[in-house]
Structure 1
Amino acid sequence: MKIEIILAAISSLALAISLTTLWQSHLARFRPLSVAGPLKLRIYRFEADGETWYIPQVDCQTTITNTGARAGKVLGLRMVARYPLVSVPDAHEVFYGCSEVDTGPFREHESSRLEWLAQANPRDAAPFILLARSSATKHVVFDRRWDAPVVQGKIEFSLEMLASPRAKWVPVEKWEHRLDARTWSELAEVGTAITVAPVHAGTFGPFDPVPADLHTYTRGGEEIPAGGFRQPPSRAVAPDEGAGPAGGRTARTRRTVRRRRGGGGRR
């Protein structure tokens, strides 16, 4: 009786393992898993006919992986900017302009919006399909128009994804930064950019050496010579160069050759 119970338990366990394997390999539904890298923020200033406006722009690279066994649809990506310090509840706006770009040309020309639009092969971020156990990496750019400066002590950017079968925007990654008056001037007037690490990645700091006077110990006591590595000049030498006169044969070599031709030693 005990043997029958053990055998039945083993059979049930084997059946459960088989069903689980079947589910994971063939039946598991589409499950997107996403990650995003640092966010870069720029603000472009434009003027025309006495009017001034701004184009805030954020870009990042994101990778989406389908961990399921069935294909699925990624219907869209968007960037939401939230202002937690504004007195109005749930103050936010959506950066609706979403483009995919080629990273190399984009990074080369990103300081000028008109130049990267011409050089980085921008295209609409269209919906796409992810096959089972596959991944897709996208470099996406989001923007919108501001008619006045936006000065806030804190701004939160959230990358969100819309994927089947859930018709719901799902957060992918989040970034936080301040947009105070000095930062606005640096971005909009000087034209620089700010790179922000994802919230979930933590910080890369602190950047200070430990201990604070570390470099007083790493200097060493060896005297540093001037001029770096110094070596005497060198040149290539031909195969027969330096072997002596008469076509490269020395006198001793010529005597040896004559003796061999004459049949040996003296007569």
Structure 2
Amino acid sequence: MNWIAIGAGLMCLSGSIPVAPDPLPGWPRLMLWAWERPEDLRFLDPHSTGVAYLAGTITWGRDSMTLRRRLQPLRVSPGTRVVAVVRLESRGDLPETDLVTSAIIKSVAFPDVDAVQVDFDARVSEREWYSSLLRDLRERLPVRVPLTMTALVSWCQHEDWLERLPVTDAIPMLFRMGVAEPREVREFRSGHCRASVGIATDELPAALPRGRRIFVFHPRPWDEDTYRAVVRMVARWQ
């Protein structure tokens, strides 16, 4: 990874999107996604950086549903804000929402989790089901635990269904985008999408809106040098 080149590129990123009031006041402005691999993140500054870790993956197909809980160790310093991420993967008929809600709650290690984030690339035919799932999940989560979600850029720019969801924050994913996803992002219509963005160290977008909480994905295990480079990178425009 050429961090010098990345840093120089970020200096010319800009955006004019109106920033929404912070839905998570007091939270760090930088969040690192930690996927299914051993991660020792005790080098993070817990005052400025939090962790969103993959807690489990729920997959369903014809007449079956499986929950694969995190197996790899995750180490963070005391006081680190921690978000449990649950990935949903659809490979067949949709299951009952209460079954998936129960599996999500089972995969989350309360009381050491500060928020829950659902990651699901819902098709158009799955959105009504997904909306119902999020409503059920919100009702069953502790009141103190915010419910957040990842979002395709097209959901944030061209569609209104997000506005009816009981989520605190929706994070537009500006990487690993499909061919139909908008590439030049200057404004999000959905108010849920105006507080955060998600990027990857190996696939930075051409432009980014300013003033957002930044979730960063790294395709390899995090180390202190990479973390320090990311901190410098996002500080240029955050």
- With the length of structure 1 as denominator, give the TM-score of the two structures: 0.19
Larger radius of gyration: 1
Higher relative contact order (CA 8 A, sep 6+): 2
- With the length of structure 2 as denominator, give the TM-score of the two structures: 0.20
